[in-house]
Amino acid sequence: LIDSGCMGSSIDSGFMQAKGFNFQPLPCPIPVYNADETLNQGGMVMHHVMLCMTIRHHSEWITFGVTDLGKGKLFLGHEWLKNHNPSINWQMGSAKFDQCPKYSQQSYQIYEPEEERKTPKWSSGSLTELWKMAREFFLSTFTITKP
């Protein structure tokens, strides 16, 4: 999920534990607020993890806060959007990374017909739940690897 209201990128603690990823404690816990400015019932972000995320031909290491996301598995937050600054065409359902010097100009189809969906390629374990979430936004291969 891409969430411009979420200040930092985060990943679900239950998902991380189920997949066997190791995460590190934060020196200072970070409070988590809901959209209505109330404290999140899942508690504070107390841990972080660094993972490699790949979208098509681009890979990058991202530090995620580990917290209870409910039904979500991973949120790419405001800092990720600000850094990548994609041009999103909501009518066409595409995102273009044309304002970030780290990327060549490539367009990604946000939604694709069911019959055209590709099988994900994973570089570390079977993370099919994460792929299902990621492909809702990007027509791409999405990988997460341990450092």
Q: Are 68 and 62 in contact (CB under 8 A)?
A: no
DSSP letter at 3 equals -
Q: Which residues pair with 8 in a beta bridge?
A: none
CA pair distance 72, 130, nearest whole angstrom: 9
Neighbours of 33 (CB within 10 A): 12
Q: Are 34 and 55 in contact (CB under 8 A)?
A: no
Check: pTM over 0.85? Answer yes or no. Answer: no
CA dihedral for 41, 44, 49, 52, sign (positive or negative)? positive
Dump pLDDT digits (tens) for 94-128.
Answer: 777 677 645 434 444 444 444 444 444 444 444 44
Q: Are 81 and 3 in contact (CB under 8 A)?
A: no
Dump pLDDT digits (tens) for 52-91.
Answer: 877 666 677 888 999 888 888 888 888 888 887 878 888 8
